[in-house]
């Protein structure tokens, strides 16, 4: 296992981060425990979760993934061996069952969110607390164009950072980060922390894969120069880069079969690019998921790739990316396809 610096925190995290969002929906508690055991035995000591998990989110399962992690901590007694990251729900109308249906990143809501996560996780501290998405309109989740609502009310980043500072001082949080954020948002938070107004961001968790390299446009420079490394989620594009969904295939029990509303990686351009990358991997004798994950891990601005699966076999295949070397010829092929399929699935 490789270990990398988590920003300027002094912490080191495994280059593979264990994704957890299927536990409590597609995976049982026992299966979640088995995945944590499997990962821990292979040197993966970095878990990522969120209060809204599992996915697809619904009121009946809200918080269940954190509870499964908490029961693993209680039974295995390994809390001090794991770097644990979680995230609070951000604003929006999709969660009427979370904080009166009006979650925001202000003091009242963040304190409640942290305390609730601590109870479910059966711990008294969270190593990395990440704002799940911004408290304002941004061009993310499949959107490149920027069309904000001029009348929207936002919680200023400085106000949010001040609350996070209180929670760090209390010992409930160790480090803070952001997710699905923009270059403007990251720099605004960093400017405030540079003025002494709160803790410095150590990471940004955004989507990054062969089908979505939009992070490279502005955020990669921020991540490198400011040492706010990327925690890349969906490095295999929700399984699309395995090729199993090509030509309209929907394998029984697969994520997109169960949750067809997730269309981010299934645009016509995305399917065309997927077919090209799968064929390229096969030409070089590689499993396409290993190739996709190895590419993400090879980028200098990436701290960790978040990998998740519903079976141990799938997880083991993704873990093998650490031992996968991409040849100059293969990398040239990837760049050639990227020139033609630049952001098929932003």
* Enzyme catalytic residues: 53
Integer angstrom CA distances of residue 320 from 160, 192, 306, 323: 39, 40, 14, 5
Residues 6+ apart with CB under 8 A from 195: none
Residues 6+ apart with CB under 8 A from 285: none
Q: Which residue has the tokens 């351009």?
A: 269
Rounded distance, CA 79 to CA 326, Å? Answer: 35
Residues 6+ apart with CB under 8 A from 218: 182, 183
Query: Nearest-CA neighbor of 288 among 242, 325, 251?
Result: 242
- Helix 183-194, helix 157-169: angle, nearest 10: 60
Integer angstrom CA distances of residue 219 from 138, 244, 265: 14, 30, 21
Three-state DSSP at 287 gives coil
| DSSP H or E run through 333 | helix 328-340
| DSSP H or E run through 283 | helix 268-283
């Amino acid at each position: 296992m490789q270990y990398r610096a988590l920003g300027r925190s002094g912490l080191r995290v495994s280059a593979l981060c264990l994704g957890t969002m299927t536990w409590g929906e597609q995976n049982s508690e026992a299966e979640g425990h088995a995945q944590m055991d499997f990962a821990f035995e292979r040197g993966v000591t970095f878990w990522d979760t969120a209060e809204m998990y599992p996915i697809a989110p619904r009121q009946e399962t809200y918080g269940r993934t954190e509870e499964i992690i908490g029961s693993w901590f209680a039974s295995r007694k390994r809390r001090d061996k794991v770097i644990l990251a979680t995230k609070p729900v951000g604003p929006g109308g999709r969660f009427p069952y979370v904080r009166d249906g009006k979650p925001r990143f202000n003091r009242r809501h963040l304190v409640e969110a942290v305390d609730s996560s601590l109870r479910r996780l059966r711990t008294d501290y969270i190593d990395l607390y990440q704002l799940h998405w911004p408290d304002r309109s941004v061009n993310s989740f499949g959107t490149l164009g920027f069309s904000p609502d001029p009348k929207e009310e936002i919680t200023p980043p400085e106000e949010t950072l001040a609350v996070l500072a209180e929670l760090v001082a209390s010992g409930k949080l160790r480090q803070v980060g952001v997710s699905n954020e923009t270059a403007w948002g990251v720099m605004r938070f960093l400017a405030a922390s540079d003025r002494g107004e709160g803790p410095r961001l150590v990471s940004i968790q955004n989507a990054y894969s062969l089908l979505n390299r939009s992070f490279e446009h502005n955020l990669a420079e921020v991540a490198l120069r400011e040492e706010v490394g990327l925690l890349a989620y969906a490095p295999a594009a929700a399984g699309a880069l395995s090729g199993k969904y090509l030509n309209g295939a929907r394998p029984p029990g697969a994520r997109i079969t169960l949750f067809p509303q997730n269309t981010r990686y299934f645009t016509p351009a995305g399917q065309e690019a997927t077919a090209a990358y799968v064929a390229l991997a096969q030409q070089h004798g590689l499993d396409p998921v290993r190739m996709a994950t190895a590419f993400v891990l090879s980028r200098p601005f990436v701290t960790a790739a978040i990998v998740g699966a519903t079976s141990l076999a799938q997880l083991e295949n993704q873990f093998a990316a650490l031992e996968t070397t991409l040849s100059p010829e293969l990398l040239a092929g990837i760049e050639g396809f990227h020139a033609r399929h630049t952001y098929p699935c932003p």
